[in-house]
Structure 1
Amino acid sequence: MASWIAAAALFAVGFQGADAQYADVTCFSNYTWANNNMGQTPCVVASYLQAPCHPNGANITALTNSSYEYTPPQVVTQCECNTVLYSLVSACGGCQGAEWVTWQYWITNCSGNTYNEEYPRPLPSQTEVPAWAYLGLTNGTWDPVAAQQDLSAPESSASAVPSSTAISTPSTSASTTSTPTPKSSNVGAIVGGVVGGVVGLAILSILIFLFLRRRSRSTGSDTTSGKMMHPDHAPMSQSYPHDFNVSQAYGQPDQTKLYNPDDPTTFPRSPEPSVVYTASTLPVSPTRPGHFTGAPEL
């Protein structure tokens, strides 16, 4: 309890005149990364941010023991109930080798009026706020590791202030979550695509039906004409045996040789006894009155 009272007394808001704001703190050399571009320690920057809410001035005194920590201020204003000042004061304790309190404990006296990742007053022209002071908290407390990873971000000054974040109520964690934006569906495009697909399918079905119908008609016509053909109407080449020799049937000499009285092979020959002639195997000529229609005799 004694250490808590001592720590609370060290974080004091004085009323010593406007020129009395200061931070009588010496930080370790391994914490120079926490200084702003003007070379001011986080303790000095924190004292400047307290000043707009305390016209008579404000100051932050050094911790006399590493077991001490800066506790919530007793005079509570908007200048104290925000994560920007809380992060700077926490870094002020860290640069002295001390610990720091949680955000939930820091806002004990804020009555629910807190500001997350935002400093609700105009920034004083005498200082610049490092970008890491505007970061969200990690597990409800200031995170020096995340702060060192954000050193390249631009600092905030009276002429360049980052966009404000909505006011939040006390919580154990200041991390924010993004709400996904619902995607709007184009109902007209979907309906048009469905209708177009149905029409295209119908047209394709009609074309296939017409093609099959035409093909069926063509095949039926060929089959019908084949059935109506009479056997006697077959082509002349199909009415005779393949080995039928007309010159032999009529006893004519072979036309490949000229007639020679000295060559018996050119003499006319009688039909072979084995050949049987029928009416169907002989050429049919039209019958005319007074003409002989039988086979010639030799």
Structure 2
Amino acid sequence: MRPAALLLSTLTLFSYYTRAQVHTNATCSSEFDWMNNSKGQSPCLITAWLWSPCFFPESFVPALAPGGLYGGPISTSESNLCECNTVAFATIAACGICQGRGDGVIPWSAYDRFCTDTAAVSKYPFNVPSGTEIPAWAFQDVTENNALDVDAAKAVAESGTCGSGKYYHHHTSSSVFLFGVPSIRFRAADESTSAVFGRNSRLSDH
């Protein structure tokens, strides 16, 4: 292959892996518009962006079925820092809540069960993706109540406190950058089966 063609091929491949498709099909009720960030993005789309450093070429947050809850990593081998941090937990919880799904996600202690490395509380472990902004309410310490405190989050949102830029913490490890379609877990409240895109896995009872 000629050098020019090789260079073009390399650049094309690089471009492919650096432009993740970030999206969601979840719809939030308008009563939760206060959860949106300064870009007008719902917590579901914000979560997709927060997961994007680890998931190429697609970072997707699916809508929940009635009675469903979002879950965390289903095994230590599938854990990653994009999910294993309280900021992403807060936004995915908000994503479920704004769809009318109770707490939106399983309790933090269960969500974090298979995380082999967890970012410091109230820290997002990467540079904030340029396509989003993390609202200030997402930096809440969810370990205190084992869940997102919606009332406290709303109070922060209505106070006009600024978000992401002030709070992020950059993690330099590259070991969590995984290529392939992300494993997005969710479960029905009355079932122990966790649905994973592309395969089915059993979610342990917590």
TM-score by length of 2: 0.66
Q: Give % identity.
A: 32
Could you list the per-position Cα deviations for residues 203-232 of structure 1 after superposition, in whole angstroms to 9, with x for gaps in the alignment? xxxxxxxxxxxxxxxxxxxxxxxxxxxxxx
Which of 117, 136, 141 lines up with 1:136 in the alignment? 141
Cα distance in 2, alignment partners of residues 163 and 112 from structure 1: 17
Query: The residue matched to 1:154 in structure 2 has which SS?
Result: coil
More relative contact order, 1 or 2 (CA 8 Å, 6+ apart): 2
Query: The residue matched to 2:47 in structure 1 has which SS?
Result: helix
Cα distance in 1, alignment partners of residues 117 and 130 from structure 2: 29
* Larger gyration radius, structure 1 or structure 2: 1
Which of 127, 150, 163 lines up with 1:155 in the alignment? 163
Cα distance in 1, alignment partners of residues 60 and 120 from structure 2: 22
Is the 8 Å Cα contact of residues 81 and 115 (structure 1) preserved in structure 2? no
Cα distance in 1, alignment partners of residues 42 and 117 from structure 2: 29
Cα distance in 2, alignment partners of residues 120 and 49 from structure 1: 10
Query: The residue matched to 2:45 in structure 1 has which SS?
Result: helix
**Which residue is 1:40 aligned to?**
41
Cα distance in 2, alignment partners of residues 113 and 89 from structure 1: 16
The one-letter code matched in structure 2 to 1:104 is S
**Which residue is 1:102 aligned to?**
107
**Which residue is 2:79 aligned to?**
76
| Total equivalences in the alignment | 146
The one-letter code matched in structure 1 to 2:60 is N
Query: Cα distance 1:25–1:155, how it changes in 2: closer, same or farther (>3 A)?
Result: same
Query: The residue matched to 2:24 in structure 1 has which SS?
Result: strand
Deviation at 1:73, TM superposition (A): 3.1
Trace 1:105-120 onto structure 2 (pairs within 5 A): 105-111=110-116, 113-120=118-125
**1:92 equivalenced with 2:92 (yes/no):** no
**Which residue is 1:64 aligned to?**
65
Is the 8 Å Cα contact of residues 29 and 99 (structure 2) preserved in structure 1? yes
The one-letter code matched in structure 1 to 2:65 is T
Deviation at 1:111, TM superposition (A): 2.5
**1:20 equivalenced with 2:21 (yes/no):** yes
Deviation at 1:121, TM superposition (A): 0.6
The one-letter code matched in structure 2 to 1:64 is A
Cα distance in 2, alignment partners of residues 113 and 129 from structure 1: 18
Is the 8 Å Cα contact of residues 107 and 114 (structure 1) preserved in structure 2? no
Q: Name the Cα RMSD after superposition.
A: 2.0
Q: Which has the higher strand share?
A: 2
Could you list the per-position Cα deviations for residues 243-292 of structure 1 after superposition, in whole angstroms to 9, with x for gaps in the alignment? xxxxxxxxxxxxxxxxxxxxxxxxxxxxxxxxxxxxxxxxxxxxxxxxxx
Could you list the per-position Cα deviations for residues 153-194 of structure 1 after superposition, in whole angstroms to 9, with x for gaps in the alignment? 1021xxx23265xxxxxxxxxxxxxxxxxxxxxxxxxxxxxx
Structure 2 segments unaligned to the other structure (5+ residues) = 1-15, 170-206
Deviation at 1:120, TM superposition (A): 0.6
Cα distance in 2, alignment partners of residues 163 and 57 from structure 1: 23
Deviation at 1:41, TM superposition (A): 0.1
**Which residue is 1:121 aligned to?**
126
Query: Cα distance 1:163–1:20, how it changes in 2: closer, same or farther (>3 A)?
Result: closer
Query: Cα distance 1:61–1:31, how it changes in 2: closer, same or farther (>3 A)?
Result: same
**Which residue is 1:264 aligned to?**
none
Cα distance in 2, alignment partners of residues 82 and 132 from structure 1: 14
Cα distance in 1, alignment partners of residues 117 and 57 from structure 2: 26
